[in-house]
Structures are given as C-alpha cells and as structure tokens.
Amino acid sequence: MGYLRINNLVKTFNRTEVVKDLTLEISKGELISFLGPSGCGKTTTLNMIAGFLDVDGGRIEVDGQAVHLLPANKREMGMVFQNYALFPHMTVFDNIAYGLKLRKVSKVEAKKRVLEALDMVRLAGYEKRYPKELSGGQQQRVSLARALVIKPKVLLLDEPLSNLDAKLRQEMREEIVDIQKQVGITTIFVTHDQEEALAISDRIAVMYEGRIEQVDDPITIYNQPKTDFVSQFIGEVNKIQGVVVGGENGNESRVNFYGDEQLLPFQLRTNEKLDFFVRPEKIVITQKHEGEGFQSIVMKKMFLGAKTRYFLKVEDKDLIADIPNTALNPHSIIEGSKVQTFWQAEDILPSRNVR
Amino acid sequence: MKKKLPSILLSLSCLIVYLFLLAPIVVVLLSSLTTTEYIVFPPEGVTLRWYIELIEHPEFIDSFILSISVAFGTAIIATIIGTMSALAVVRREFKGKNAIVQLIGSPLLIPSVVFGVALLQFYSWIGLATSPLSLILGHIILTVPFVMRLVVASLVGFDRVIEQAAMNLGASSIRVFFEITLPVIKSGVIAGAIFAFITSFDDLTVALFIVSTDVVTLPVRIYTYMQYQYDPIIASVSSIMIIMTVVLMIIIERVMGVGKIFSSKN
C-alpha cells in the first residue's frame, strides 16, 4: 500500500542518534510534511531519502524497491532546496534541461518538456535569464520546474519557502500544492513552520528528537494531539494545572481548576495534580460573575482585527484567551476587571507526561 | 570650481602612476627602432633593422620556443595540481592539513635565489640533468601556491548544495565536477593558469641556476647577452615579448573578459 516506505531508519552523528528507529509509509500522490523544530531530524531524514546521507540502519523503499543503498544520482528523486541551488553558470533553460540531458532525452523532446515545465510554474519567457537575474520566488519556481521535469518518483522539498518573505511564502505554498495535485506526485515537504504544514499537507508527521511523535491529517493533529510535544508545538496552547478530585463511573473524572470543578471525559487517578492543555480560542470569558468556570483578572488586551487577545491572570497563572470580536465587544471589558472564565470539557486535554 | 579641485588632483595622480608604470615599456618599444648601434633614448631615426637581425640570432628563437613550451607545461601541470590541492584543502578535513597548506605555500616565502641554489643542489644530488622537464618541475613548485590560492579564493563562496542538486538530477561525481564545479570556479582556475604561465615565462632567478649551455630560457638568454653586448637587439626581443603579452591579453579579454577572470566572483 505504501508507495514510499521508511522502515526503522537510524542515523547517528558522533555517537548521537539523530534519527531513531523511524518508520513511516507514504501513499502514492500524497503530500506529507515533516514538521518539527530545528534539530528534530527532519532534514537528516530527507537527506537519507535523497541519498545525500548514508543510512546507519533500516531501509527505504520506493514502489516496492529498496533504494537506501543506491547513490543519490540513481534514486530518481526530485529535490527542491531551501536556497534554490540553481546552477549559476547556466540559463534557466539549461538549469531545467540538465536532468533531461543526463537522461539523454532528445533535444526536441527536452525543449518541449522544459517549456511545459516553465509554463507550469508560470515563468514562460524566462528561459534565457540567468539565476542571478531572478527574484527569490522566481528562482524557487525554476528549482521546482527543474525537479519536476525529470518526472521523479518522489518530490522532496527542503524548507523551500523559508527564504521568501511572508506574502510570497503564502502565494508560493498554494502554488506548490496546486502543482503537486495537478502532477499527482508523492511529495515530502520539510518545514518548521506549523501554519505552513497545516495549510498544505494531506498528512503531517510531527518530529521531535529524531522520532515521529504523531502522523495524522492536519485537523486531527491540531485537535487531537497525541503527545504533549504535539500539543505545545502545533498552534498556541495554555498549560494549566488541575487537581483530580474524583473519578465517576469509569470513563469520567472530576477535576478542580482554580476552585471550579469540571467533569472531564477521561479516566484519571484521583488526588493527582496534572497539567492540562487548552487552546486560546477555546477559552470563553463573560462579564457575568456566576455560573460555571472561575474568576480571572484581565491584565492586558490586544486588538487583532477579527479577534481580541486577552491576557488573563488567575492565582499565579497566566492564561491567553482569543475571543472573536463578534462574540464579545472588546470595548466593554477594561483592563483590571474580573471576568468569568471557562471552557468546554471536550476542549481540554490532560498531559500524558510523554514529553 | 572649488569642488572640482579634488577630482582634478585625483586624475593627475592617476596619470602620474600610469606614466610611471608604462614609461619603461614605451622606452623599450621606441629604443628598438633606433638606427644607432647601441640602445639610446630617445631613438635616433627609425628602422626595423634590429627586428630583421634577430633572424641571424637563432639562439633567441630557440630560447623563445623553449620558454613558451616550459611556461605552457608549467601552467597545465601547476593548474591541475593547484586546483586539486585547493579542493582538498577547502573541502576536506585530514590529519596534517595545516602542515600541507604551509608546505605548498612555502615557495612564496623563500627568496627565489635560495630556491634556485637549492634546486641546483637537489638536481645534481638526484642526478637529474638539465632539460625542459627539469625547468618545468622547478617552475611547478614555484607556481602551485599561486594557483592554489586563486582557486581557494574562488571556492570560498561556493555553495556545495548545487553539487547535490546536480547529483539529485542524476549526474555522476565526474560529471558534477566537470559540468558544475569546474565551470563555477573557472575564473580562479584560469587566473591561476595565466599566473603560472607568466611566472614561468618571466622567471630569471631560478632558471639561471639550472640552465645549461644548450637549454637556455629567453630571460636567461637576454640577461647573458646583455653582459657582453648592449645593442638594440635586446630592445627588439623585449618589444616582441611585450607585443605578444598585449595580444594575449586582448584575446583573453575578447574571449572571456580579464576583469571577470581576476575578480573572484563571476
């Protein structure tokens, strides 16, 4: 079923394992992101797939064939590099045609395919330019065309957008997804930008310290993080403490948050002090001083257009709440006032202490 | 008017520097046209007699051919060795790397007279007779540091990711070197080759120690000839060398641009 299969992959640098027993299956045509902080092993894994780094253990298969022992130039992978890596002494045309020349494609055929590729990345008419005459975004498009024109088995993108400015980055990522779907190529997209990964991926593999923490579609990753690392790395999150005061009928527990008891759909050990995660947009505040929840003080507020961010304090704990301005008029709450603070039981996740 | 004074002074100082640099060349060129039996400046009259008389001195022609051949051989071999050393030094970490870098660079620090004496003693010790080859060997030692330094300079800004990119597209290591690496560092390599050629062609000090009666390079020939005679043939030989150099530079300029070659970036 898996088109690209990575089995028990290991990489060691100076006796430190930077990739630890990594296993992953990627389906044909899928766009998967490797997401994680720097040093998590995502680029190392990509370089092993591309063949730039030797594998210290495990295997990599593409379409049923083991490739992890092949040299990089025999793997038929198209790679797009962070700094574009265009050949400075060649024109745009020659850059894109280089892979075809190596494959001994006839000149007529090569010309046709290069022009098609240029068309696809919307750079028709640029074939005589040299890389240094192009902007960063244009260079990255040439790089993408160069990788795709050889019809590789897998497309590898190594932080392809991180050298571009914010606006261009959004444009380019949409373009990359469009092209990827149009060509239907199996793609690995390495990034440290979680918003980018959420926006474009079919699935995200969240990596930390050489391991995959969770592989799931973006919505599941965001809403049902399986480990504490994923909870904290993806999106923003409040980490709060609660005390389990009692279990009720097996699958539920009663937890005390700052004086307010809430029934949560988890089985937790009674009398335990636990960390919980709740996202800023899941917190609700009202000016009522009764009902569910607890009282907190508004320390500061920040108007952000569609929403307002409230910096709250309860006991010694800081909380961030993002409230849509349609739900609550930011003018009506002044800094220093007390607000009723709560969240739905399904919006809070207990820490699993698994990192 | 006040503002213009500094720029006038600048132009003037440039003019003086250029005059100082170019005057000897002009003096030689003009002296070769004199009708007198001795070198004089300004020349008296105009004649090409000293150029025609060169034909009666086949030893100059032989030396010229020898010098060109030695310089050519030196340039090719020194460029290959220098480029390979530069690549090793910049890209690899190995034991004793610093020592090797210093060793390769050491001919730059040793006075060429000392080097000439050393080479003479070394050649007679190992029993190597004077030949174009022994000259080339000596000049290679002399020129490799230049080539290496120029190539190292052109490798400084080299991003090896483009080599990975080429490999990723299917290129073997050999193709990567000749189609990607070499074209990108070309300016440094060519500059190194030209430097090696000129250094070898121009060398008098080292060659003086290792030439024999039948293997004499042009600079040595001119030098020894001048010890006994001071006729304008020397000026005409020198003029031919100057004209040749100028023509060579013009060709290189036309083909690839001298400015491009001698700047470390392309």
Q: What is the pLDDT of residues A241-275, one digit of tens each?
A: 888 888 766 788 889 898 888 888 888 888 888 88
Of B165, B175, B180, the CB nearest to A79: B165
CATH number assigned to the domain comprising residue B109:
1.10.3720.10
Cβ–Cβ gap A99/B170 under 8 Å = yes
The answer to whether residues A50 and A72 touch, using CB atoms and an 8 Å cutoff, is yes
- A16 is a domain residue: yes
Q: Calculate the average pLDDT of chain B.
A: 87
Cβ–Cβ gap A79/B164 under 8 Å = yes
For residues B217 and B151, state if they share a domain. Answer: yes
pLDDT at B264: 43
Cβ–Cβ gap A85/B175 under 8 Å = no
Tell whether the model's pLDDT for residue B19 goes beyond 50: yes
For residues A155 and A194, state if they share a domain. Answer: yes
Query: What's at B233, amino acid-wise?
Result: I
For residues A57 and A40, state if they share a domain. Answer: yes
Tell me the per-residue pLDDT of B102-136, one tens digit each, with 9 for 90 and over. Answer: 888 888 788 889 999 999 999 989 988 888 899 99
For residues A290 and A316, state if they share a domain. Answer: yes
d(CA B191, CA B193): 5
d(CA A25, CA B196): 57
What are the start-end ranges of the E strands in chain A?
Answer: 4-13, 16-26, 31-35, 57-62, 65-66, 77-80, 154-158, 186-191, 203-208, 211-216, 238-248, 252-257, 260-264, 273-278, 284-286, 294-303, 307-314, 317-324, 338-342, 348-350
For residues A91 and A125, state if they share a domain. Answer: yes
CATH number assigned to the domain comprising residue A139:
3.40.50.300
pTM for this predicted structure: 0.80
Read off the tokens for A165.
């400015």
Query: CA of A147 to nearest chain B CA: how many angstroms apart?
Result: 7
Residue range of the domain that includes B110: 57-262
Interface of A with B in 6-65 (CB under 8 A): 50-52
For residues A196 and A254, state if they share a domain. Answer: no
For residues A174 and A90, state if they share a domain. Answer: yes
Cβ–Cβ gap B162/A88 under 8 Å = yes
Nearest residue on chain A to B265, alpha-carbon basis: A88
Query: CA of B264 to nearest chain A CA: how many angstroms apart?
Result: 14
d(CA B147, CA B154): 11
Residues 6+ apart with CB under 8 A from A4: A25, A26, A49, A60, A61, A62, A154, A186, A188
Nearest residue on chain A to B170, alpha-carbon basis: A73
Q: Residue A44: list chain B partners with CB under 8 A.
A: none
- B167 is a domain residue: yes
For residues B249 and B127, state if they share a domain. Answer: yes
Q: Residue A88: list chain B partners with CB under 8 A.
A: 162, 184, 266
Go through chain B and tell me how many residues it has.
Answer: 266
For residues B43 and B67, state if they share a domain. Answer: no
- B188 is a domain residue: yes
- B191 is a domain residue: yes
Cβ–Cβ gap A88/B167 under 8 Å = no
pLDDT at B257: 61
For residues B128 and B148, state if they share a domain. Answer: yes
Averaged pLDDT for residues B159-175: 94
What are the start-end ranges of the E strands in chain B?
Answer: none
ipTM confidence score: 0.82
For residues B37 and B114, state if they share a domain. Answer: no
Place of tokens 């090793």: B88
d(CA B190, CA B184): 11
The answer to whether residues A247 and A267 touch, using CB atoms and an 8 Å cutoff, is yes
- A109 is a domain residue: yes
For residues A65 and A207, state if they share a domain. Answer: yes
Of B162, B179, B186, the CB nearest to A85: B162
Q: Residue B166: list chain A partners with CB under 8 A.
A: 87, 98
Tell whether the model's pLDDT for residue B258 goes beyond 70: no
Using CB atoms within 10 Å of the CB of residue B34, give its burial: 0 to 12 exposed, 13 to 18 middle, 19+ buried.
buried
Final residue of a domain: which of A198, A233, A268?
Answer: A233
For residues B120 and B233, state if they share a domain. Answer: yes
More confident residue, A329 or B257: A329
- B198 is a domain residue: yes
d(CA A114, CA A109): 9
Q: Residue B186: list chain A partners with CB under 8 A.
A: 89
Cis peptide leading into B183, omega within 30 of 0?
no
- A355 is a domain residue: no
Q: Residue A79: list chain B partners with CB under 8 A.
A: 164-165, 168
Cβ–Cβ gap A88/B184 under 8 Å = yes
- B1 is a domain residue: no
d(CA A154, CA A174): 19
The answer to whether residues A57 and A8 touch, using CB atoms and an 8 Å cutoff, is yes
- B2 is a domain residue: no
Final residue of a domain: which of A204, A233, A262?
Answer: A233
Nearest residue on chain B to A152, alpha-carbon basis: B169
Query: CA of A74 to nearest chain B CA: how many angstroms apart?
Result: 6
- B117 is a domain residue: yes
Q: Provide the domain count of chain B.
A: 2
For residues A8 and A117, state if they share a domain. Answer: yes
Q: How would you list the strands of the sheet with A273-278, edge to edge?
A: A260-264, A252-257, A238-248, A273-278, A348-350
Q: Residue B162: list chain A partners with CB under 8 A.
A: 85-88
The stretches in chain A having pLDDT less than 50 are 354-355
Final residue of a domain: which of A233, A260, A281?
Answer: A233
pLDDT at A133: 94
Query: CA of A217 to nearest chain B CA: how many angstroms apart?
Result: 29
Q: Provide the domain count of chain A.
A: 2
Averaged pLDDT for residues B217-227: 89
- B140 is a domain residue: yes
What are the start-end ranges of the E strands in A14-49?
Answer: 16-26, 31-35
- Beta bridge partner(s), residue A277: A239, A349
Residue range of the domain that includes A340: 238-350
- A152 is a domain residue: yes
For residues A39 and A145, state if they share a domain. Answer: yes
For residues B126 and B175, state if they share a domain. Answer: yes
How sure is the predictor about B34, in pLDDT bands with cuts at 50, 70 and 90?
Answer: confident
Q: Residue A51: list chain B partners with CB under 8 A.
A: 167-168
Say how far residue A330 (Cα) sits from the centre of its chain: 32
For residues A201 and A243, state if they share a domain. Answer: no
pLDDT at A247: 74
- Beta bridge partner(s), residue A65: A62
User: Dihedral sign, CA of B85, B89, B92, B93?
Assistant: positive
Cβ–Cβ gap B184/A102 under 8 Å = no
For residues A9 and A80, state if they share a domain. Answer: yes
Averaged pLDDT for residues B46-72: 89
Percent of chain B scoring above 70 in pLDDT: 94
CATH number assigned to the domain comprising residue A317:
2.40.50.140
Cβ–Cβ gap A88/B175 under 8 Å = no
For residues A317 and A248, state if they share a domain. Answer: yes
Averaged pLDDT for residues B43-47: 85
How sure is the predictor about B256, in pLDDT bands with cuts at 50, 70 and 90?
Answer: low
Cβ–Cβ gap B266/A99 under 8 Å = no
